[in-house]
Structure 1
Amino acid sequence: MTTGPSQQATFAGMPTPLYSGSPSRLLAWLDCPRRYRMQYLDRPRPAARAQRAHTSVGIATHNALRDFWDLPLAQRTPAGVAELVRSSWIDVGFRDPEQSAAWRLRVRDAVTDYLRRSDRERQPVGVERSVSLKTEQIAITGRVDRLDDRDGELVVVDYKTGRQVPTDDDARTSLPLALYAVASARMFRRACHRVELHHVPSGTVAVHEHTDDSLSRKVAEAESIAADLRRADAEFAQVGVESPRFEPRPSAICGWCDFRAHCPEGQRMGPEKSDWAGLEPAGYESAAAGTALP
């Protein structure tokens, strides 16, 4: 019998178990094998750094956009949004209370402005909906920010809150979005080819229309990554941190890594980013704050 992380026990003659994971797990391996090991395999897991302010902003924004659709129609107003942002706010990672308060107002205005462009009477098919996808090799589970019904077909919507405005090419190449589209189509038995990245601060929507062939290629990509992870996880189970498969991949993202304190190679890539370095520069504020939702 053999066992390993993310694998079931196997006996002689049994088929190989599916590799279970999430899109985030697959992408963590591509970013840096050492970070992947520390995040998913090491036990006890090395201590991660404290949460940064831009993560607090992202979580609060996502929570407000999630809870908006639970409000009665009469409460889907700027005042209702302001209360959702206030109750969702996470005061962690900011330089000082003044910066946190200023950002809470910016997020309130950005979320209000974003929802003003939405049809508040059209309830999404799913909000933060868990979806799963199984093939002959993998079992992938993830969570879709929003799943819309557009003329009888499903559309995967993913919210973005960072400094970089996503492009249509980002939507086209996104592995998680493609896997969510395939999973949603199978679970709901409805076509799902369109994926969108909604950048809440700017109101930009990046779009890609997949074909069956392009989605199949994305599933094959996920299976290829999972095959590498299956081998890496099994080797870790045998030799632990001595495995050469988990060498670091130093890059510009080392300054942001939650496990930087445990990685000398990452520390040599330059100074660590401050807790609030990921915040959007001035100009995030909505110019239309305070007006009514359509």
Structure 2
Amino acid sequence: MSVNATEESPPENRPGPRRPALSPSRASDFKQCPLLYRFRAVDRIQEAPSKAQLRGTLVHSVLEKLFALPREERVTERAHELLRPAWTELSTDRPEWTELFPDDDPAAVDAWVGSAGELLDNYFGMEDPARLDPEACELHVETELGSGVRLRGYVDRVDVAPTGEIRVVDYKTGAAPREIGEAKAMFQMKFYAVVLWRLRGIVPHQLKLMYLTDGQSLAYTPDEPELRRFERTLEAIWQAILRAGRTGDFRPNRSKLCGWCDHQSRCPEFGGTPPEYPGWPEPDPGEETALDRAD
């Protein structure tokens, strides 16, 4: 199978429109509920973030900054020192996020930042960042399969051993039910494994999920036949999205996850009416947000 693959700079640094692509979050959305995919990728309806989502974004930002420091500075105290500046940076870029803290209540903000610090403490209990030199953090990757399906996403961390083995690491800070959350997370990790395999010609040796809430980790070793099968799954999802995009027929799929959905008021399963279908978006319905990457 021929593949055109590149590791690229973040989208904001590249001029011009990009071709439509599939990200792990949007692929997972469509698998979960095609109508949810439409609301997020086609209608692009803004969703109010939760404090837990923002906390995950903050922790990801701090860990990225931590690994940019010299090894001897990658200690718990330094990570905690990075929390406030990182939140100031994030909230300056997205001032609407501060609306989750009424009247900018200092005590509420302090407690929330403190809860992010607890996740960092849990992280340090899982591994010592002073012993690691990741090849990349928050790496934007993009590849096009031989079938024409374009995949893109952000990888939390890529470690490469001196012998060349690749480990893909993803931090999880959300509070989704474990059996559902792990299935979605492993889908995401296999997505990244396919992209990196096609970019580098090497099947990642390990996919590692680090659950910072409880200090647990989950490691998995994929193989090439499995990634080929997963490629076909992604191609089938993309073809289903394109069919729905041509007709506007994005059907709801009621499940246990509906309880966490922001769109019940416009979902037919709950007596709502979706907005008029705006047509298939161009050029790019596949982008992930920082909140997507923080779960």
Q: Give the TM-score taking structure 2 as reference length.
A: 0.71
RMSD over aligned Cα, in angstroms? 2.7
User: How far apart, in 2, do the equivalents of 1:104 and 1:92 lie?
Assistant: 15
Separation in 2 of the partners of 1:170 and 1:19? 27
Mapped pair 1:179 → 2:180: no
When residues 200 and 94 of structure 1 are mapped into structure 2, their CA distance, relative to the original with a 3 A threshold, is: farther
Among 131, 146, 149, which residue is 2:141 paired with? 131
Q: 1:158 aligns with which of 170, 188, 192?
A: 170
CA contact (8 A) 2:21 2:151 kept: yes
Question: Which moved further from structure 2: 128-137 or 245-254?
Answer: 245-254
**1:266 shift after superposition:** 3.7
Aligned to 1:31: 32
Distance 1:107 1:173, change over 3 A: closer
* Structure 2 residue identity aligned to 1:84: L
> Are the counterparts in 2 of residues 175 and 222 from structure 1 also a CA contact under 8 Å?
no
C-alpha contact (below 8 Å) 2:59/2:120 kept by paired residues: yes
What aligned pairs does 1:1-294 form with structure 2 within 5 A after superposition? 20-42=21-43, 45-46=44-45, 48-89=46-87, 91=98, 93=100, 97-116=106-125, 117-137=127-147, 138-150=149-161, 151-164=163-176, 170=182, 174-236=186-248, 245-263=249-267, 265-266=269-270
Supply the distance in 1 between the matched residues of 2:78 and 2:70 (Cα, whole angstroms): 10
TM-score by length of 1: 0.72
Aligned residues: percent identity?
29
Q: Which has the larger Rg?
A: 1
Runs of 4+ with deviation above 6 angstroms: none
The number of aligned residues is: 239
8 Å CA contact 1:166–1:206 kept in 2: the answer is no
Give the whole-Å Cα distance in 2 for the aligned partners of 1:246 and 1:218.
23
d(CA) in 1 for partners of 2:268 and 2:183?
A: 34
Residue type of the partner of 2:263? Answer: F
Distance 1:103 1:57 in 2: 8
Task: Decide whether the 8 Å contact of 2:32 with 2:253 is kept in 1.
Answer: yes
Q: Looking at secondary structure, tell me which structure has more helix per residue.
A: 2
Answer yes or no: is the 8 Å Cα contact 1:254–1:267 preserved in 2: no
Unaligned runs of 5+ in 2: 1-18, 92-97, 273-295
Letter in 2 for 1:139: R
Distance 1:252 1:26 in 2: 18
Q: Give CA-to-partner distance per residue, 1:76-103, whole Å, 9 cap, x none.
A: 2222101222222365535865444223
Q: Which amino acid aligns with 2:260?
A: W
Deviations along 1:38-80, one digit per CA (max 9) or x if unpaired, are: 22123xx44x342211111111111111111112334322221
Q: Which amino acid aligns with 2:141?
A: V
Distance 1:164 1:263, change over 3 A: closer
Structure 1 unmatched runs, 5+: 1-17, 237-244, 269-294
Q: 1:24 to 1:163 in 2, by over 3 A?
A: closer
Q: Distance in 2 between matches of 1:154 and 1:93?
A: 39
